[in-house]
Chains A and B, each alone.
Chain A
Amino acid sequence: MSEHTTDKRVREASRRRFLQAGAALAGGSAIAGVAGSTALAEQGNNLPPSVPEWMKTPGDPMGSQPYGAPSVHEKGVIKNISKTLPQYISASGRTPLQELDGIITPNGLFYERHHGGVPTIDPAEHRLMLHGMVDRPLVFTMEDIRRFPSQSRIHFLECSGNPVYTKPYGKTASDLVGLLSCAEWTGVPLKAVLDEAGVQAGAKWIVAEGADAAALTRSIPIEKCLDDAMLVYSQNGERLRPQQGYPLRLLLPGFEGNMNVKWLRRLKVVAEPAYSREETSKYTDPMPDGTSREFTFYMEAKSIITRPSGGQKLTTHGFHEITGIAWSGHGKIKSVEVSLDEGKSWQQAELQEPVLTRALTRFRLPWHWDGTPAVIQSRAIDETGYIQPTLAELVAVRGLNSFYHNNAIWPWHIDANGEVTNGQA
C-alpha cells in the first residue's frame, strides 16, 4: 500500500470518528435520563456497555512518533521547575517523584542541576584528558572510551540540597526531595581507565572537570575512584541526555550529585584536593558555631512516601496502598518502617526486590483508611544500621542554616476529606 493511500485511509477514519462522536454525544443525554435510577452505573460513550471509539477505527500509523513520547493524557507528568527562580543558567529542576512507579526514573524526567547551562557537545570533538600524577598522560576520544570493557549498574543520584532545612517546606514529594532520580548507567569502571595511564605513588585525589560553561571542578578521593566510580556514556539503555552530561559523565555512587561531574573532559591525578569554589564556598555545610563541614560526600539513608503524598487526595475510604522510595549512599536499604500514628509506632514495609546497593528501593504497606485524619511517614534503615533521623534530631545537631544533606523523615498529614498536605508545615 502506498503512503498516499494510507494517509487517505487515516483521514477517512478520523472523519468517521468525528461523526460518531457527535452522534454519541446526542444519544448520551437520552441514556442519562433512563439510567438515573442505577446509581452505580457510569455514563459515557466509551464506557460499558458501549464500544469505545478508539476500537472502531485504526490508531496512529507506525512511525507517527519516531522517538516515542508519553500518552497525551500524561502531559502533566513533567519536570517540576519553579517559575520564580532568580535565573535558569545555574539552576535545578526536579523529578515528579509522586507520579512515578518502581525505581527507575525515565530519562526525560531525571532531575537536573546545572551551573553554567546545558552545553551542546559534538561527541566527535569531545576529549577526555587524563594527566597529573600518572606514568602516561592520555587523551581519549569517545570511541576510545567505548572500547573499554563496559558494565551497567543501577544507582541513584541526589543533589545535596534536597531539601533545605528552612521553611517554606514543599507541598509535594517532588518539591521536597525531587532532586533525586535513579537509572541504569552504562560505562567503564574508572579504575580501568586509570590503569591505562598508571597512577603514581602518592596520588590521593582526582580532580574532575566538566566541559560546561562553569568548567565545574570537584576533587574525588582516590579510594572512591578505584572502588565503584564509573565513566558513564549511557543511561537507561540510551546515550546520556545533554542534561545528564552527554557524551560522558562521572558517576560516584552514593556521593552528592554535583561531584558526579557531567560533560567530563579532564581528570587530573593529584596529591591534594583542588579546593575549588564548589568544594570550599559552595558545597560546604555551615554549622551553628560558624564552622562549615567540607568534603561532605555521602548522601545518608533517606525515604519518602510518594503515595499518598502532598497534593494528592484520597477519594474513598477503605484499602489504600502506601508506597514510597528509600535509598542510602552507604549501601543497601535494610528495612523501611512506616508510622500511621504521628510516629508513635512503626511497622515494617515490604521491600520490592531487587534491593540494590546505592539504588532506590521501592517499599509498600497495605493500609485501610477509615476516614479519620492521619499522619503517615516512613523511615529508612540501611545496611550499616543507620536510622533516618527526624528533622528535629537533625536540626538539634546542625541548626537551620546547614542547607545541605537534610535526610529527615518527612510526614504527610491526611485530613478527614482525604486531602494530603505536608505534615511538617
Chain B
Amino acid sequence: MARRKLKAAFLVGAIAMLAAAAQAEDRFGIGRPATPAEIAGWNIDIGRDGSNLPPGSGGVERGRAVFAEQCTACHGDSGQGGVGDRLVGGQGTLASPKPIRTVGSYWPYAPTLFDYIRRAMPQNAPQSLSNEDVYAVSAYILSLNGIVPANAVLDAKSLAAVKMPNRDGFVSDPRPDVHNR
C-alpha cells in the first residue's frame, strides 16, 4: 500500500516536472531573477495618484531655500524661466493665441512634479536631492502658482490630494484629423 502510494507520488511528481520542462522550453532561460531590493532601488516611478511616493515631508519655507540654491540659475528667482522652463503663471492662457505652459497652468498631476524633480533635477546633479527636499521644492513651486498655501507642508498623502488646474485639459489622439481627400 505504502509502496503504491509512493509510486503514485513519483508519477505525479514526474508529470509535474515534465510540464515544467515543457513550459520552460518555450522560454530561453536567459536572465536572472531580479531581487526585491534591486527593484526597490530602481523603481522610482510615482503614479499620477501618488502611488509609490516615499515617506517624508517638506514645506514651502524649506523649498524656497532649496530652490534658491539648486534651481534659480536655470528657472529664475521666482520660477519665471530662463535656460530652463518657466514654472510659474500662465493659468487661463491655454486657449489664447499665446499660451503659457507652466507647472501651474499645464501640468495635470502634482505627484508627477515629485517624480520629475527627483529623477531629472537639478539638471547638473539629478537624483541628488533628499526626498524631503523634493517634497519641499514641489511645495514651493506649487505655492508660487497659488495652488497650495504659502505655509503648506506636503507629504505622500497631501501631495496626492492636490488638484491641478489643468487636470482635465487633455484629450486622446484623434488623428487622422485632417480630411483632405
Contact with A along B88-126 (1 / 0, CB 8 A): 000000110111010100111100100110011001001
Q: Which residues in B have their C-beta under 8 angstroms from that of A274?
A: 45, 47, 115
Which residues does chain B contribute within 8 Å of A147, judged by CB atoms? 28, 30
A275:B31 contact, CB within 8 angstroms? no
Interface check B39, CB cutoff 8 A: yes
Q: Which of B108, B119, B127 contacts A280 (CB 8 A)?
A: B108
Interface check B69, CB cutoff 8 A: no
Q: With the chains together, A213 CA to B95 CA distance in Å?
A: 33
Measured CB to CB, the closest approach of chain A to B150, in angstroms, equals 24
Kindly identify which residue among A130, A131, A300, A390 contacts B176, using a CB–CB cutoff of 8 Å.
A300
Kindly identify, within residues 274 to 317 of chain A, every residue whose CB is under 8 Å from any CB belonging to chain B.
274-277, 280-281, 284, 286-298, 300
Which B residues are in CB contact (< 8 Å) with A297?
173
Q: A129-B42, A276-B112 are in contact. Are A292 and B170 (CB under 8 A)?
A: yes
Interface residue A369 (Cβ < 8 Å from any Cβ of B)? no
B43 at the interface (CB under 8 A from A): yes
Q: Of residues 365 to 414 in A, which have CB atoms within 8 Å of B's CB atoms? A: 385-387, 389-390, 393-394, 396-398, 400-401, 405
A32 within 8 A of B: no
Q: B55 an interface residue at 8 Å Cβ cutoff?
A: no
Chain B interface residue count, CB cutoff 8 Å, equals 51
Contacts of B112 in A (CB 8 A): 275-277, 280-281
Check: B48 CB closer than 8 A to any chain A CB. Answer: yes
Does A139 lie within 8 Å of B171, measured CB to CB?
Answer: no
Contact (A286, B101) CB under 8 Å given A140-B30, A292-B169, A393-B178: yes
> Are A137's CB and B39's CB within 8 A?
yes
Contact B83 A87 (CB under 8 A): yes
State A352–B45 Cα separation when bound (angstroms): 45
Residue A241 CB within 8 A of the other chain: no
Task: Kindly supply a per-residue 1/0 record for chain B positions 43-63, scoring 1 wherever the CB is within 8 Å of any chain A CB and 0 otherwise.
Answer: 111011000000000000000
A: contact size bracket: 35 or more
Q: Is B5 an interface residue (CB 8 A)?
A: no
The reply to whether B123 and A89 form a contact with Cβ atoms under 8 Å apart is yes
Q: Which residue of B lies closest to A387 (CB)?
A: B180
Q: A280-B109, A389-B178 given as contacts; is B172 within 8 A of A289 (CB)?
A: no
Q: Which of A138, A268, A289, A387 contacts B32 (CB 8 A)?
A: A138
Closest-by-CB residue of B relative to A381 is: B181
Inside 8 A of A405's CB, which chain B residues have their CB?
A: 175
**Residue numbers in A under 8 Å from B172 (CB-CB):** 293-295
With CB as the reference atom, state the residue of chain B lying closest to A407. B178
B120 lies within 8 A of A387 (CB): no
The answer to whether A153 has its CB under 8 Å from any CB of chain B is: no
Chain A CB within 8 A of B3 CB = no
A291's nearest neighbour on chain B, judged by CB, is: B171
Report A233-256 residues with CB < 8 Å from chain B CB. Answer: none
**Which residue of chain B has the shortest Cβ distance to A274 in the bound complex?**
B45
Does A90 sit within 8 A of B, measured CB to CB? Answer: yes
- Tell yes or no: A115 within 8 A of B by CB: yes
**B178 cross-chain contacts in A, Cβ below 8 A:** 389, 393-394, 396-397
- Contact of B4 with A by CB under 8 A: no
Are the CB atoms of A281 and B99 closer together than 8 Å?
no
- Residues in B whose Cβ lies below 8 Å from that of A86: 83
Out of A192, A268, A298, A385, name the residue touching B43 (CB < 8 Å). Answer: A268
Given A138-B34, A276-B112, A215:B107 Cβ within 8 A: no
Within 8 Å of chain B (Cβ to Cβ): is A44?
A: no
Q: A196-B27, A275-B109 are in contact. Are A295 and B173 (CB under 8 A)?
A: yes
- On whether A137 and B33 interact (CB within 8 A), knowing A298-B175, A390-B180, the answer reads yes
Q: Provided the pairs A215-B126, A289-B95, A292-B171 are in contact, do residues A277 and B116 lie with their beta carbons within 8 angstroms?
A: yes
What A residues does B103 contact at CB under 8 A?
281
CA of A215 to CA of B176, assembled, Å? 31
A295 to B175 Cα, complex, angstroms: 11
User: Which B residues fall within an 8 A CB radius of A?
Assistant: 26-34, 38-39, 42-45, 47-48, 74, 83-84, 94-95, 97-99, 101, 103, 106-109, 112, 115-116, 119-120, 123, 126-127, 169-178, 180-181
Q: List 18 A-B contacts (CB under 8 A).
A: A129-B34, A129-B39, A137-B33, A138-B33, A139-B33, A140-B30, A148-B30, A196-B27, A214-B126, A274-B47, A277-B107, A280-B107, A280-B108, A294-B170, A294-B172, A296-B175, A298-B173, A401-B97
Closest 5 CB pairs of A and B: A290-B95, A138-B31, A290-B94, A277-B116, A215-B119
